Amino acid sequence: MKIISSLIILFLSIVLFFQARADEFTCAVNSSFSDSISENWIIKHLQTDEPKIILSKRRLNEIKKAIKKDSIVNTYYDYLYQNAESILSLPILERKMVGRRLLTVSRDALSRMGILSTVFAVSNEKRFLTRLNEEIIAVCNFTDWNPSHFLDVAEMAYGVSIGLDWSLKKLPPSTIALAKKALVEKALQPSFKEKYSRWVKNKNNWNQVCHGGLTIAAIVVADEHPGLAARIMNRAIANIPIALAQYGPDGVYPEGASYWAYGTSYTLLMLSALQSAFQTDFALEKIPGFIESALFVEMLTGPSGLYYNYFDSRTTNAWGLEKYELLAWFAGKTKNRNYFNREEFMLAAKKARHDKLLASRLSGAALHWISATRDLPQKAFPENWKGDGPNPLIIFKSRKHSSSNFYLAAKGGRANISHGHMDAGSFIFELQGVRWSVDLGLQGYTQLEEKLGLKGLWSSTKDSKRWTLLSKNNFGHSTLTVNDQLHQANGNATLLFFVDSVTHPQGQFDLGPLFPDKLSAATRTFRKLSEERLEIMDSLTLTSKTETVTWAMVTQAEAEITNEGFLLTQDGKTLAVTLLSPLNAEKKITSLDPPPLEYDMQVPNLKRITFRMEAAALKEHGGNINVHLSGEDEK
């Protein structure tokens, strides 16, 4: 225990250091913490009982009792049980690539293994163990787990690991030996090859997923390979702070809601596994912004139940099971049951069971976290919120007793980061249950990689083919465009200020870096004027190179041009988009259905409404553009 305490004290001191300098923090972790875990330390502190990955004998017994006494836990377990039964009739997984990825198979494998092993651990029904054995044998006999796309390996490794651990040593010895051999030879050892390990120091979700999956695999084989396990764990604990630093300072995950769920899930699995196997998570959860990210994802959910889906994110799953599963962990850590709404979770679980949806990768881990959420105190969330960092956000919501369902989410940031879009200055806006301003979010990768090539899609340089896509460039976002040209890919739009007012919150972004030479200064200010009205004020300083400025909003509503601007209609509601200044702008509605390119994202009824202004007209009004968005009940 003294060694564990020393490690925790050392790591906490590094975390405090991070608060002053994030870059120095990661360097300090790499130099000071690396190799603190020895082979002897592994041998001395590794739990010998199974399960030891996330679950334990004690927790498993508590979960069994909770299934009988807690309707929430019972409903979720019934959902997993239904999943386990449905898996029995599915064909055994085969090694089938989709493009350059094995990821679909890996995710199916880990989902199946997690579900089967969880239900077996609770029910002790042999039919689930038999099928788990068949699935493990199948994937462990694959030629490889596709190390050229190492996410595939990490997720497969996690699936095999929990399948082994949660089966409570009841798999055939030959299967256990085969699986451990596969974990070592197909996952752990290849991870040290230079051509497969570019993710080790990444700032994005690859870091979290790969270190998380491999750490759990290392724990499973640590009884036979303690030296290898020590190497894997030292590398993970030294480098995962690089990715977690991106959550700081306020919890904003730069890659958006979908990748928050992906990266965060593997971090939580890793932390829980370290805690259960070694009684310490090395204080990784203390990195500033990580715990706060739970509030970020809550605030990212609009009244419609849709996420603000900036970058390569989906609008869906804001009220889905996976979000609740993850937030159950945060509810326990923060002692705030608002993070885990039991009533909403019950509805989501029943719907998933009714629709026969496949459970997520979390299964047994989620059962563990959910069963620990009873009797927590409740702490209210803010109505307005800002999150700073690489991709700063502001969010305004309706006041507590308002029926308007007002929701604004707007962002700054830059395009040349992981999964980036040219969307700085853009916003989504909801009122009266309608999402009026939309973000296209995720467009599938496989077809785009075939059309544009890997470098074409994933390069973020200014001349990248990525920026030809409507879903990625500024022409497909509700933002400003100058001279009909792309934003500067590396231009960073920072958050200048945020005022958290009860009635009139406001926030301002510096958009100047998006338009070098074209504008000498540019700010965009969002201000809530009432429960039914939003003001967007752009203040621009023009240069001799400024020709035109276009104010755009992307929508799926029906649109018509009016004297003042546009009138939008959707779901029986209306929204007025009014240009107050300058008055002599060209108003235009451009259909984006079909989109400009045949491989662009297809979105039904998508259109762009624009106010286009000549430089001379803007100068007459001091370079200011003032637009109001107001609902039908605004007087």
Confidence of residue 28 (pLDDT cuts 50, 70, 90): very low
Contacts of 31 (CB under 8 A, 6+ apart): none
The DSSP bridge pattern shows strands 548-555 and 607-614 to be: antiparallel
Confidence of residue 399 (pLDDT cuts 50, 70, 90): confident
Confidence of residue 27 (pLDDT cuts 50, 70, 90): very low
User: Residue 35's pLDDT is what?
Assistant: 58
Contacts of 347 (CB under 8 A, 6+ apart): none
pLDDT in tens, 306-347: 999 999 999 987 567 888 999 999 999 999 989 998 888 999
CB 322 within 8 A of CB 316: no
Beta bridge partners of 569: 558, 574
User: Residue 401's pLDDT is what?
Assistant: 76
Report the alpha-carbon distance of residue 457 to residue 419 in Å, rounded: 10
pLDDT in tens, 523-560: 999 999 999 999 999 999 999 999 999 999 999 999 99
User: Residue 32's pLDDT is what?
Assistant: 41
User: Residue 31's pLDDT is what?
Assistant: 40
pLDDT in tens, 107-139: 999 999 999 999 999 999 999 999 999 999 999
146 pLDDT exceeds 60? yes
189 pLDDT exceeds 80? yes
Report the alpha-carbon distance of residue 451 to residue 465 in Å, rounded: 10
Give me the DSSP letters along 167-214: TTT-S-HHHHHHHHHHHIIIIITGGGSGGG-TTTT-SSHHHHHHHHHH
Domain boundaries of the chain, sorted by first residue: 2-370, 392-631
SS3 at position 572? coil
User: Residue 139's pLDDT is what?
Assistant: 99
pLDDT in tens, 193-218: 999 999 999 999 999 999 999 999 99
User: Residue 16's pLDDT is what?
Assistant: 42
Q: Which CATH class is domain 392-631?
A: mainly beta
Task: Please compute the mean of the pLDDT values over residues 271-284 and round it to a whole number.
Answer: 96
Give the predicted TM-score (pTM) of the model.
0.90
Six token digits for residue 436: 């009026």
Residue whose C-alpha is closest to residue 426's, from 381, 476, 379, 383: 476
User: Residue 507's pLDDT is what?
Assistant: 98
Q: What share of the chain is helix, strand, coil (3-state, %, to 5)?
A: 45, 20, 40
User: Residue 26's pLDDT is what?
Assistant: 45
Contacts of 135 (CB under 8 A, 6+ apart): 92, 93, 109, 112, 113, 116, 163
Q: How far is CA 115 from CA 26, 49, 272, 286, in A?
A: 36, 21, 18, 30
Which fold, 2-370?
Glycosyltransferase (1.50.10)
Q: Which residue has the higher pLDDT, 587 or 343?
A: 587
Confidence of residue 21 (pLDDT cuts 50, 70, 90): very low
Report the alpha-carbon distance of residue 2 to residue 426 in Å, rounded: 52
13 pLDDT exceeds 50? no
Q: Of 176-185, 205-214, 368-377, 457-466, which range is least confident?
A: 368-377
